[in-house]
Chains A and B, each alone.
Chain A
Amino acid sequence: MSSGKAVTVLERCRATLPYLVVLAAGAYLYYTAENFEFEQSSGRIGPGAWPKLILVLMLASALWGAVSSALQIGKSDAIADADEMETLVRPPEIYPWLVWVAVAATVGYLLILPVLGFFLATIVYAFVLMYLGHYRRFVPAVLLSVAIAFAFMFMFMRVVYVALPVGVAPFDRLSYALMAAMGVH
């Protein structure tokens, strides 16, 4: 019985936390908006008026959200029904850690992109994304990664005329060779 109660308290804290984060961020941004530097002209509202109006609404909403989550107000039957229906189109999250691995992989991709160039960096990144997406057949995944990198390079450099990163030496040689093969100058 007591463990069930402890879980409820933990759940309430977890539900309240996002609102507390919004409250803290909102308060800091309000303070920032109060101190915008501008030349005051008589009778006119300043550049902080509009953001402060929004922040007041956000702080009031977050306060209401924090209080209602802490006290568990307003969970109706209609919401419970809607939750059931939602599982049809939105399955529950089962691998939350995979999301953060994907985010880390994306950050890593953006860091290596200027070094390796678009083609090589994209092969590595596409392979990692497929692996995270439970596509674990090694050889087809490698071939598909190469195909994706090549197709995007062709589509965006040859068709849409975008200058994708070519990388630094010696990796840039491969990029230039591919560009020459595609007819991109």
Chain B
Amino acid sequence: MVIGNLAHGFVEVFQPFDLLMLFVGLLVGMAVSIMPGLGLVMGVILALPFTYQMPIEPAVILLTAIYFSGTYGGCFTAILYRIPGEPMDVPMLWDGYTMAKRGQPAKALGWALLAALIAGLVSSAVMVALAGPMSEAALKFDSPDYFAAVFFGLTTVVALAGKSLVNSLISLCVGLLVATIGIDSIYGTDRFTFGVPILRDGVQLVEVLVGMYGLGEVLARIGQGLHLDKPKEAKVNVATQFPSLREFLAIKMTLFRSTVLGTVLGIVPGAGATITSFISYGIEKQYGRRRQLLGTGIPEGIVAPQIGATASVAGHMIPLLTLGLPGSGATAVILAAFLLHGVQPGPMLFEDSASSLMVYTILASMFASVIGMCLVGFFWIRVVVKVLTIPQGVLSAIVVMFCLVGAYANRNDMSDVWMIVIFGVLGYLFEKLRFPISPMVLGAILGPVGETAFMRSMISSDNDWTVFFRGPICGPLMVGSILALSYPLLRQLFLMRRRTAAVVISGEPR
């Protein structure tokens, strides 16, 4: 059944326009992930306005392809020039760049390509197999279960988003409050509109996403002086060299460990490509056979973070498609694309044949994206790396224009552009004051879903809040949420105790 649906999906993906969008998405994803300060979330945001006039399938295929190749493209500049295109590429500097400096840049690129290929294909296969059962389970959800699922998603995002739990919580609350602006759907009451007519319609998702991630990021970069070390031209001509079968088999446990970890962590909301990349590297450092050699330019140090980053993409796509819950900034934008096309992702998508074909087309495009990004990486990366030669000042002007015109294009309304500027400044202040952006954005997106489920549950249970803890689905999810929220506090306590113990030991007389 799944195989048959997937085969139909592949037929759709190979329609000329879908295939073109896939290819464009792969190139855009590579380009934005190579350029420091842009990143894959910026890539999907910049592409969003172009999807308004498209059918839903090519629109989501375009954004998914950007998401996948965005996890891979950054490895080139990290390995060759020690320029991390995104935070997720930082672990790649330690071993990838060191291996390149030792005279093996082609081999380092080969390891990264192989890791991305394995991670993408395996995690996509696992997630496609889980999509059906997950959507069936989601159909059994009632209001308290749905609220608990949203609550679990938001708490894990908060727990994993930043170094400060307090800042993450405030960021989340700001997002949830932004979602309450406008006319309340149950009572028809004006909430936080302050007599401003445009606020009565509520704040558009596009305004929050483009402002916070797009304009805010450019403003932060302007403050940093748009600094970028230019690459040395000589290395641009480096090719990719695959490892031998013997070398491949020598690190099979790293491949296995990182793939499982990246796929599983991908399902956890908030554990984006950066977190999975760092955790995979950290686990390798703790349990790897050659853990003492990590950082000296060994393949394990390239493979583990690359697998972690790429495997997380499929993990994030499935909760989005089956539950309608985005777990990262990029999936939040993809959700916005669905909603702008009038489609609400969730278990109902799997129920009728037309929407089911759409879902399986998107799932098939994940496999095509993985293979496509590896082909682009192998053959065309020399062309894509040229984006590093575009002056940063020119690039920032182009990005800002995409943000402003893209927002205007949504409804042909100047008020949307003003809102972008407001959220852009807010995004810049969040960056400057070290408040993580992802909880705010996901709060703004999931807020209405959470509120509706909360109000329905409370009304049907006569305001009994224990309803969220009694059910077989919502109970464990709520407990999981509390554990997720406790995690940063426990980690802080553990680190403080360890530091105190270290001070005591170093202070002891010999």
> Which A residues are closer than 8 A to B by beta carbons?
18-19, 22, 29, 32-33, 36-39, 43-51, 54-55, 57-58, 61-62, 64-65, 68, 74, 76-79, 82, 85-86, 88-96, 98-99, 102-103, 106-107, 109-110, 113-114, 122, 126, 129-135, 144-145, 148, 152, 156, 160-165
Contacts and interface: CB of A to CB of B under 8 A. Distances in A.
A18 B164 CA distance: 14
Contacts of B463: 43-45
B93 interface: yes
A134 B90 contact: no
A14 to B, nearest CB: 10
Interface residues of B, number: 76
A73 B87 CA distance: 27
- Is chain B's binding surface mostly helix, strand, loop or mixed? helix
Contacts of A86: 87
A94 B435 CA distance: 19
Nearest to A66: B166
Given A19-B170, A49-B458, A57-B169, 7 more contacts: A36-B184, A76-B495, A91-B225, A122-B401, A135-B394, A148-B401, A160-B53
Given A134-B225, A152-B401, A129 B166 contact: no
Nearest to B430: A18
B192 interface: yes
A142 B354 CA distance: 50
A55 B50 contact: no
B405 A95 contact: no
A114 B414 contact: yes
B219 A102 contact: yes
B451 A57 contact: no
B173 interface: yes
A156 B187 contact: no
Given A135-B394, A152-B405, A162-B409, A89 B166 contact: no
A139 to B, nearest CB: 14
B70 to A, nearest CB: 15
Max chain B Cβ within 10 angstroms of own Cβ: one of A32, A106, A163: A106
Contacts of A18: 433, 435
Interface string B456-476: 001100110000000000000
Contacts of B143: none
Given A76-B499, A133-B396, A54 B173 contact: yes
Contacts, number: 195
27 contacts: A18-B435, A36-B191, A47-B186, A49-B458, A50-B455, A51-B192, A58-B174, A61-B173, A74-B496, A77-B495, A77-B499, A78-B491, A93-B220, A94-B223, A96-B432, A99-B223, A99-B428, A103-B425, A106-B424, A110-B417, A126-B401, A129-B397, A129-B400, A133-B396, A144-B394, A156-B405, A162-B409
A119 to B, nearest CB: 12
A88 B36 CA distance: 10
B226 interface: yes
A74 B392 contact: no
A94 B223 CA distance: 6
A54 B401 contact: no
Interface string B184-198: 101111111000000
Contacts of A44: 459, 463
Interface string B373-403: 0000000000000000001111111101100
Contacts of A36: 184, 189-191
B408 interface: yes
